[in-house]
Amino acid sequence: MERLASIVLAGLVGAASAVPARAEEGPPPVRRLRILILSTMLADRGIGEWGFAALVEVDGRRILFDTGARPETVAENAREMGIDLADVTDVVLSHNHGDHTGGLLALRRSLAARNPAALSRAHVGRGIFWSRPAPDGSEGNHVLTVRGELEAAGVRFVEHTAPAELLPGVWLTGPVPRVHPERNWSTRGRVAAPDGLVEDTIPEDLSVVFDTAEGLVLLSGCGHAGIVNTVEHARKVVRPAPLHAAVGGFHLLALDDARLDWTADRLRETGLAHLVGAHCTGLEAVYHLRSRLGLPRDRAVVGAVGASFALGKGIDPLALAR
Q: Assess contact for 290 and 246: CB atoms under 8 A.
A: no
Instruction: Assign domain 32-312 to its CATH superfamily.
Output: Ribonuclease Z/Hydroxyacylglutathione hydrolase-like (3.60.15.10)
Angle at 90 between CA 71 and CA 122, to 5 degrees: 70
d(CA 220, CA 234): 12
d(CA 81, CA 185): 32
- DSSP letter assigned to residue 71: T
CA 88 to chain centre: 16
d(CA 130, CA 18): 22
d(CA 38, CA 77): 6
d(CA 274, CA 313): 11
Domain-by-domain residue ranges, the chain?
32-312
- Write down the pLDDT at residue 6: 36
Tell me the pairing of strands 121-125 and 156-160.
parallel
User: What is the pTM for the complete model shown?
Assistant: 0.93
Beta bridge partners of 278: 249
- Write down the pLDDT at residue 48: 97
Angle at 55 between CA 20 and CA 14, to 5 degrees: 40
As averages over each run of 10 residues, the pLDDT of the chain (322 residues) reads 34 41 67 98 94 98 98 98 98 98 98 97 98 93 97 98 97 97 89 95 98 98 98 97 98 96 98 98 97 97 97 95 84
- Write down the pLDDT at residue 290: 98
- Write down the pLDDT at residue 322: 84
d(CA 223, CA 249): 6
